[in-house]
Amino acid sequence: MMTDRTALQLAGRHIIITGASSGIGRASALAAANKGATVLLLARRDDELQVVVEEIRAAGGKAFGYRCDITEPDAVETTVRLILEEHGHVDMLVNNAGRSIRRSVYRSTERLHDFERTMAVNYFGAVRMVLALLPHMRERKFGHIVNVSSAGVQFSAPRYAAYLASKAALDKFSDVAAAETLADKITFTTIHMPLVDTPMIAPTGKQNVTQAASPEWAAATVVRALIERPKRIDVPAATLAEYGALIAPKLKDAVMHRVYRRFPESAAAKGEPVNGEQATEPDGRAQSNGKPRSQAALKRASKVAQRLGRLVPGAQW
C-alpha cells in the first residue's frame, strides 16, 4: 500500500495516455516521463507514436507505444490486457484523445454523423478506457483518471454543439463514477482546457476568439492533475462564465449569439476551400466577416473577463 506522500509523486507510476502521437498527448507524455513516470502511449498513428516513444527514451525516460483505436472495443480490450501483462499494473489514465468539429447547428441538420463521430471518440472511447481499467484499479485500491475536457463546456461556445456535448457527457459520467469509486481510492480530475494550439484546431483555429495556449502549458496542467489530483481544473474566465450563466442565463445566450454572428462558419465547416468570400447562414443571412475591429473588441472583452475571473474561487478544486 502506498503512503499518501508517495501517492502524490509520478516517479515509478505507470500512466496510460491516449491520443499521444501529437498535441497535448505528446507534450503530456514528455512531461510525465520527465517526472519519472513510465508512460504507456496509445494512438492510431503508429509511426508518429513511435517517434514520441523514441524521443522520450533518448532523453532517458521510459515509454512504450501501443497502436490502438479507442473507438474499437476489441482494440481497447486487447491493448489493456497486453499492457497489464507486460507492465503488471496501471496507476493512472489520461483520456486525452479527442475529435473536434466546429460547425453550426443549422449546417448540421443533415450531418448527424458529426455528433456520432465526436461521441465515438470523446465520450464512448474515453468511457471504454475507464471501464477496461476500473476492475484492475479497484483490486489495487488505487487509481487516478484525468479527463481532458474543454472550457467551452462552461462557455457553451457557439458552433461546437457536437464537440461540447460529447465532452459534457464525459464530465457527468466522471462525476457519477467518482462518487461510486471513492471508497476504492479511485479518483477523477476533469480539466476544462482552454483552446490549445494543436493539429486538431488547424481547420478552424483562426475562427476562434481566444488566443490558443501552447501544448507545453497544457501538459503542465495535465501533470498537475496527476500529482495533486484535484476534482477539476478550470481557467478563471470559464469559471466566471459558468457562474454568470446560472445568474443571468438569457444574458449569456445574448452574448454567445453575438459571438456566433461575429465569427462566421469556416471554409472547412462548409466543405469549401478558403476563398475570402463572405459567409452566410443556411437561411441566407449574411454574417459578419470578422473584421479586425470586431475581433479586437471581443479579445478586449475576453481579457476583462479573465481579470474578473481571477476574483472567482474554484479555478482548481
On the question of pLDDT at 2 being above 70, the answer is: no
The size of the chain, in residues, is 317
The predicted pLDDT at position 305 comes to 54
For residue 117, CA distances in Å to 112, 123, 125, 189 come to 9, 10, 10, 24
- Calculate mean pLDDT across residues 166-177: 98
Domain boundaries, the chain: 11-238, 240-309
On the question of pLDDT at 6 being above 90, the answer is: no
Rounded-to-integer distance, Cα 174 and Cα 1, Å: 25
Q: Which of 18-27, 97-106, 245-254, 283-292 has the lowest mean pLDDT?
A: 283-292
Strand partners, 94: 17, 146
Q: What is the dihedral angle through the alpha carbons of 135, 1, 172, 108, rounded to the nearest 10 degrees? A: -70
**Are the CB atoms for 190 and 13 separated by under 8 Å?**
no
At what angle are helices 23-34 and 46-58 packed, to 10 degrees? 20
Helices (DSSP H) in the chain: which residue ranges? 4-7, 23-34, 46-58, 73-87, 112-118, 126-140, 152-155, 161-180, 215-228, 236-247, 249-262, 267-270, 292-309
On the question of pLDDT at 299 being above 50, the answer is: yes
On the question of pLDDT at 189 being above 90, the answer is: yes
Name the percent of the chain lying above pLDDT 70: 77
Q: How confident is the model at residue 103 (pLDDT cuts 50, 70, 90)?
A: confident
**Mode of pairing for the β-strands spanning 92-95 and 143-150:** parallel
Rounded-to-integer distance, Cα 233 and Cα 230, Å: 7
The predicted pLDDT at position 237 comes to 82
- Calculate mean pLDDT across residues 164-174: 97
On the question of pLDDT at 105 being above 90, the answer is: no
On the question of pLDDT at 289 being above 50, the answer is: no
The predicted pLDDT at position 225 comes to 97
**Are the CB atoms for 296 and 211 separated by under 8 Å?**
no
Among residues 22, 13, 3, 58, the alpha carbon closest in space to that of 40 is found at 13
The predicted pLDDT at position 258 comes to 86
The edge-to-edge listing of strands for the beta sheet with 92-95 is 62-67, 38-43, 14-18, 92-95, 143-150, 186-193, 232-233
- Calculate mean pLDDT across residues 102-122: 89
Catalogue the active-site residues.
163
Residue 234 cell numbers, joined: 478550470
- Calculate mean pLDDT across residues 107-132: 94
DSSP state of 196: B
Name the percent of the chain lying above pLDDT 90: 59
Q: How confident is the model at residue 1 (pLDDT cuts 50, 70, 90)?
A: very low
Q: Which of 123-132, 170-179, 241-250, 305-314 has the lowest mean pLDDT?
A: 305-314
CATH topology of domain 11-238: Rossmann fold (3.40.50)
The predicted pLDDT at position 168 comes to 97
Rounded-to-integer distance, Cα 305 and Cα 115, Å: 30
The predicted pLDDT at position 177 comes to 98
The predicted pLDDT at position 293 comes to 47
The predicted pLDDT at position 290 comes to 43
Q: How many degrees, rounded to 5, is the angle at CA 134 between CA 128 and CA 137?
A: 145
On the question of pLDDT at 296 being above 70, the answer is: no
Side-chain half-sphere CA neighbours of 256 within 13 A: 21
The predicted pLDDT at position 72 comes to 98
pTM confidence score: 0.80
Helices (DSSP H) in 35-148: which residue ranges? 46-58, 73-87, 112-118, 126-140
The predicted pLDDT at position 112 comes to 92
